[in-house]
Amino acid sequence: NAGVTQTPKFRVLKTGQSMTLLCAQDMNHEYMYWYRQDPGMGLRLIHYSVGEGTTAKGEVPDGYNVSRLKKQNFLLGLESAAPSQTSVYFCASSPDPLNTGELFFGEGSRLTVL
C-alpha cells in the first residue's frame, strides 16, 4: 500500500533555479493538497485541487504553481527558487474532506535553496 508518494525526498537548489515536486496517490482520492512546514509555523496550505484539471490557491501561494493533469498526480513547481522557499513540503490527499475530514500525507520533500 503506497498511499501518497512524494519525489524527490531531498533537493538542494541555487537561488533562481526551477524545480518540480511530484506527488502521486494510489487511493483514487479526489482532493489533493500541497503544504509547507516551517519550524514554529505549523502546516500552511500552498495550493490545492478538488479534482482532475482543477487547482486553487491556499494560504501561501506566491512563488509556486501547480498542475493536476491526472487524478493521481499533483505537481508543485517553483519557477525561480528563493531562500525563503527553503522548507519541508508535504503533499496530502483526501477522498471527501467535507465528510470524513481526514487527510493522508506523504513523507515530505525537504528543499534547501542556497
Partner 1 sequence: QQQVKQSPQSLIVQKGGISIINCAYENTAFDYFPWYQQFPGKGPALLIAIRPDVSEKKEGRFTISFNKSAKQFSLHIMDSQPGDSATYFCAARARGGSQGNLIFGKGTKLSVKP
* Nearest Cα to Cα of residue 106 among 55, 37, 38: 37
Bond into 8 cis (ω within 30) = yes
Query: Residue 43, class by beta-carbon neighbours within 10 Å (0-12 exposed, 13-18 middle, 19+ buried)?
Result: middle
| Measured distance CA(96)–CA(103) in Å, rounded | 9
- Rule CB under 8 A: say whether 101 interacts with partner 1: yes
Q: Judged by CB under 8 A, which of 75, 92, 111, 113 binds partner 1?
A: 92
- Rule CB under 8 A: say whether 4 interacts with partner 1: yes
Q: Which is nearer to partner 1, 13 or 35 (CB)?
A: 35
Report the nearest approach of partner 1 to the CB of residue 68 (Å): 13
Phi, psi of 13 (to 5 degrees): -125, 160
# residues near partner 1 by CB under 8 A:
26
According to DSSP H, which parts of the chain are helical?
none
Site string for partner 1, 13-52 (x = CB under 8 A): ------------------x-x------xxxxxx--x-x--
- Provide the binding-site residues for partner 1, judged by CB under 8 A: 4, 31, 33, 40-45, 48, 50, 56, 58, 90, 92, 94, 96-98, 101-103, 105-108
